[in-house]
């Protein structure tokens, strides 16, 4: 199927994809051990930019594939199952890809920055979701703010920018999301057949820090000093063990208080 001629009149094994393969082959043949490690910095930045460009082009072509119902020729009813079938994506990832491709049609500045490799797919997806949440209140100036922020920030900090923007343009919507997150809080304790207990929970941004940081981490002692990789692995294991121990130590106080947390 990859060697068949398409509507454009040339095989997808020909140009321009052949040029991409040749470039990657040239990079793979390079002896990295002969190069100083600091030299990888520029390579990593350039490769990441090209990856962003490829992701943008994939998204652009997915939008055309979706709009033109190209998936019908393969017997699919929707582009999402086709992505799962042919690109081996999970259901959630396939759905996200299609939804983002559709939303970017109304975000020209985001598309341009994405196509030039200045922002990643995760940045573009976050801007697209914010635009969907804002609806008609999403103006060109708001998109400019988000795109410029995406060029400088990681996705965690960009999320803070999107929340602040929504607070300014759609305060009622942000309040509704906060109330929904509050109503969806839960804490479950279950026991397996061999007697092991599992804790599962969901906390909003207000209750999470109080429960996790104050109730558990405040009781933890510093881990013993170790060296090398053993130090890193041992430290992580120590914190996990101390977290469980601290929670067990706090249980009598919680039970004795006779309060139900919600």
Among 216, 222, 206, smallest CA distance to 244 is for 216
Comparing 10-19, 28-37, 128-137, which segment has the lowest mean pLDDT? 10-19
Q: Per-residue pLDDT averaged across 186-214, rounded?
A: 73
Residue 216 banded pLDDT, cuts 50, 70, 90: low
Indicate whether 257 pLDDT > 50: no
Q: Per-residue pLDDT averaged across 202-218, rounded?
A: 63
pLDDT digits (tens, 9 = 90+) for 140-167: 889 999 999 999 999 999 999 998 998 8
What average pLDDT does the chain have?
80
Of 183 and 168, more confident: 168
Break the chain into its structural domains and give their ranges. Answer: 44-179, 186-257
pLDDT digits (tens, 9 = 90+) for 92-126: 999 999 999 999 999 999 999 999 999 999 999 99
Q: Per-residue pLDDT averaged across 203-209, rounded?
A: 66
- Cα maximum dimension of the chain: 77
Of 194 and 241, more confident: 194
Indicate whether 184 pLDDT > 70: no
| Chain centroid offset of residue 252 CA | 39
Give the pLDDT confidence score for residue 262 in this predicted structure: 46
Q: What is the 3-state secondary structure (H, E, C) of the chain?
A: CCCCECCCCCECCCCCHHHHHHHHHHHHCCCHHHCCHHHHHHHHHHHHHHHHHHHHHHHHHHHHHHHCCHHHHHCCCCHHHHHHHHCCCCHHHHHHHHHHHHHHHHCHHHHHHHHCCCCCHHHHHHHHHHHHHHHHHCCHHHHHHHHHHHHHCCHHHHHHHHHHHHHHHCHHHHHHHHHHHHHCCEEEEEECCCCCEEEEEECCCCHHHHHHHHCCHHHCCCCCCCCHHHHHHHHHHHHHHHHHHHHHHHHHHHHHHCCCCC
Give the pLDDT confidence score for residue 5 in this predicted structure: 46
Comparing 6-15, 164-173, 178-187, 246-255, which segment has the lowest mean pLDDT? 246-255
Q: Per-residue pLDDT averaged across 58-63, rounded?
A: 97
Of 217 and 153, more confident: 153
Q: Per-residue pLDDT averaged across 235-254, rounded?
A: 57
Q: Per-residue pLDDT averaged across 7-26, rounded?
A: 76
Indicate whether 212 pLDDT > 80: no
128, 149 Cβ separation under 8 angstroms: no
Of 10 and 160, more confident: 160
Give the pLDDT confidence score for residue 197 in this predicted structure: 79
Residue 192 banded pLDDT, cuts 50, 70, 90: confident
């Amino acid at each position: 199927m990859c060697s068949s001629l398409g509507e454009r009149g040339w095989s997808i094994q020909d140009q321009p994809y052949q040029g991409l393969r040749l470039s990657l082959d040239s990079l793979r043949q390079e002896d990295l051990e002969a190069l100083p490690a600091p030299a990888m910095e520029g390579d990593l930045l350039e490769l990441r930019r090209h990856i962003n460009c490829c992701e943008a082009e994939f998204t652009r072509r997915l939008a055309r594939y979706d709009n033109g119902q190209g998936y019908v020729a393969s017997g699919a009813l929707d582009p999402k199952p086709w992505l799962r079938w042919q690109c081996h994506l999970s259901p959630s990832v396939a759905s996200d890809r299609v939804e983002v491709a559709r939303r970017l049609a109304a975000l020209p500045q985001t598309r341009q920055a994405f196509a030039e490799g200045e922002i990643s797919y995760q940045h573009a997806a976050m801007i697209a979701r914010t635009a969907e949440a804002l609806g008609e209140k999403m103006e060109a100036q708001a998109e400019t703010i988000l795109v410029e922020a995406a060029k400088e920030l990681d996705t965690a900090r960009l999320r803070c920018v999107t929340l602040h923007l929504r607070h300014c343009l759609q305060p009622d919507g942000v309040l509704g999301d906060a109330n929904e997150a509050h109503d969806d809080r839960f804490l479950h304790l279950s026991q397996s057949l061999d007697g092991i207990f599992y804790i599962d929970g969901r906390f909003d941004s207000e209750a999470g820090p109080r429960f996790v940081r104050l109730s558990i981490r405040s009781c933890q002692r510093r881990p013993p000093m170790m060296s090398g990789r053993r130090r890193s692995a041992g430290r992580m294991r120590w914190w996990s063990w101390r977290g469980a121990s601290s929670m067990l130590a706090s249980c009598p106080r919680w039970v004795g208080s006779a309060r139900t947390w919600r």
